[in-house]
Chain A
Amino acid sequence: MATHEKKPSKKIGMALLYLVLGLIAVFQIYPLVWLFFFSLKGNSEIFGRSPFALPENWLFENYARVWVDGNISQYFFNSVLITATSVILTVILASFVTFAITRMKWKLSGTVLLLFMIGYMIPIHSTLVPLFQFYRELNLIDNPLSIILAYVAYNMPLTIMILMGFYRTLPREIEEAAVMDGCSIHRIFFQIILPMTKPVLSTTIIINMIYNWNEFVFVNTFISSDKYKTLTVGIQNFIGQYLTDWGAIGATLIISIIPILIAFIFLSNRIVEGIAAGSVKG
């Protein structure tokens, strides 16, 4: 690598560059830090002192309060259950489809792939009324199944897109050898190919998890009972009732984003991969 003599002007330029990049980082992070701080404050502190001040007494009881009294624990577990079920279903079904499209030989595979990809760009508001009507006829309104099915269907195209890139890199010889050994097609899929896709599976799992955890419109439209609501819609209700209680609102928001932040800390590389794969190849 060439080593350049750094001129003073170049040094200043670099310093400015780092300053700008640093400022962007502050812009992206500071609102969350601020949120965390006001989630630990009481109203007297929020309305009486500078919003930039650190919390005086760290009021972790804000968290206990919303978790128990605010029904947030219920919403939280609903989110966990609905997210987990949808993610598992989406990833398994999408793996079946991707395997059939990329590894098996059939005439319509290209057309079917295109059909799946069409689903990617559809605005959900263009399907919401018929979907609502359909669920009503099936008696699935206010039933978590309506949400799970919608999540699986609407995340399928992206999941297939991410999986496909990986499936296409696997050498054909894998199946050839397996067939020679007399493996059935199901064994080839479940015991040979599927385990090989572990890295990309974790990418699709984390991406799906984030999308489902954060989803709002379907739950807001199809679910009316508190006992089935997920966090995104639940915190909306909650905030409607506690409008001026900033500490409680802050605590609720932090609770809703904590699982995502934890996932991010451990799986940030996978998340980055998933985002890049989902759009670059599309």
Chain B
Amino acid sequence: MDKVMSNKKVIALYVLPSLILLAGLVYIPIILTGYYGLMDWNGIGPMTFIGLENYIKLLSDATFWYSARNSFFLAFFSSAALIVYLAVSLVLAAKIKGRETLRKIYLIPMLLSSVAIAQLWIKIYDPNNGMLNSLLKTLGVESPPAWLAQRETVLIAIFIAIVWQYAGFYIIIYSAALKGIPSSLIEAAEIDGATPLQIAYKIKLPLISGVIKTTIVLAIVGSLKYFDLIYVMTGGGPNGSSEVIASYMYKQAFGINNFGYGSAIGFMLLLLALTTTFIIQKITASKNDNLQY
């Protein structure tokens, strides 16, 4: 048995092709991004080593900081929205008729491409013929904003489209976690006279805290990586007011052939994603301990 199941040649045959593929297309590029960030390089000509110049320039690049601010804005509100998704999931965990169907309906937007979603929301936000402003005008708002064309509204407008896209995703995750709670625990609490709110707050939430942590990481890191939707919806506009880190990176590298600088931004994005993940793990770890004991 052991001889067959630990055949080194077979293991290599099964694992190596995939591992090589990932090495070539994921791991090595990750390292190279940091390295290219040290270069002055337009993507076509030769690379010139310029040390940390790109990274130093980045630190005083107002557009980069503005795009980082926008990314963190989306990260903050996306994680705040988790509370709403969690509340909806808790309600759906109760004996609600048609809850499976509702969950599936909520999920539908998540299955569509960001490009299609962006194009659809461009039309919804259209100042003259869009669904939203027509609705607002019917309700008596005289001059509703041109949502995607105004500095003050563009990020909120994008955020709402993001909520539309991801709400179902998080509700599915929370619902799956809630289903995993043994019903005996809930019944015991009911017999002891606990109200549904108490059960939700004192039993269900602590039991799914691991999943909540995962979703916080997903929401924040996901927001830092946001690209497709914004790139298609506004292209970072108007006038850079909805630029995010990934869209700024893309513009620098593939828009104006600033490959060295673009790589530096890409590397910063990686560092930001990793540090944020690490910090959330740290913060939430101590919270879990408090809840459990």
Contacts and interface: CB of A to CB of B under 8 A. Distances in A.
Given A104-B6, A185-B5, A275 B169 contact: yes
Interface in A116-170: 116, 118-119, 121-134, 149-150, 152-154, 156
B129 A93 contact: no
B157 interface: no
Contacts of A123: 221, 224-225, 246, 266, 269-270, 273
Contact of A126 (B18, B176, B267): B267
Interface size class of B (residues with CB under 8 A): 35 or more
A152 to B, nearest CB: 6
A54 interface: no
Interface in B103-154: 103-116, 119-121, 123-124, 128-131, 134-135
A271 interface: yes
B105 A25 contact: yes
Nearest to A22: B102
Contacts of A176: 1
B123 A154 contact: no
B262 A100 contact: no
A272 B107 contact: yes
B270 A264 contact: no
A75 to B, nearest CB: 12
Nearest to B112: A257
Interface in B3-45: 4-8, 10-11, 13-15, 17-19, 21-22, 24-30, 32-33, 36, 43
Interface string A26-66: 01110110110010000000110011100000000000000
A257 B33 CA distance: 34
Contacts of A201: none
B167 interface: yes
B14 A100 contact: yes
A92 B177 CA distance: 29
Contacts of A150: 25
B259 interface: yes
Which of B14, B91, B177, B245 has most A Cβ within 10 Å?
B14
A268 interface: yes
B19 A272 contact: no
Contacts of A25: 102, 105-106
A110 interface: no
A128 B115 contact: no
Contacts of B164: 27-28, 31
Contacts of A121: 221, 273-274, 277
B250 interface: yes
B236 interface: no
Contact of A35 (B28, B36, B120, B269): B120
Contacts of A52: 131, 134-135
A221 B254 contact: yes
A196 interface: no
B214 A282 contact: yes
Interface in A180-234: 180, 184-186, 188-189, 210, 213-217, 221, 231-233
Contact of A125 (B15, B172, B249): B249
A126 B105 contact: no
A266 B243 CA distance: 38
B215 interface: yes
B263 interface: yes
A232 B115 contact: yes
30 contacts: A21-B91, A21-B102, A28-B168, A29-B108, A31-B131, A35-B120, A97-B14, A100-B10, A104-B5, A115-B19, A121-B274, A122-B30, A127-B26, A128-B253, A129-B253, A129-B262, A130-B36, A132-B43, A132-B253, A133-B43, A179-B1, A186-B10, A246-B129, A253-B119, A253-B120, A256-B113, A264-B108, A275-B110, A275-B173, A280-B177
Interface of B: 1-2, 4-8, 10-11, 13-15, 17-19, 21-22, 24-30, 32-33, 36, 43, 88, 91-92, 96, 102-116, 119-121, 123-124, 128-131, 134-135, 164, 167-169, 172-173, 175-177, 180, 190, 211, 214-215, 218, 221, 224-225, 227-228, 232, 245-246, 249-250, 253-254, 259, 262-263, 266-267, 269-270, 273-274, 277
Q: Which 6 A-B pairs have the closest CB atoms?
A: A214-B113, A276-B176, A130-B29, A130-B32, A127-B29, A126-B270
Given A52-B135, A100-B11, 10 more contacts: A47-B129, A119-B26, A119-B27, A127-B266, A134-B28, A149-B25, A232-B115, A235-B119, A275-B172, A280-B173
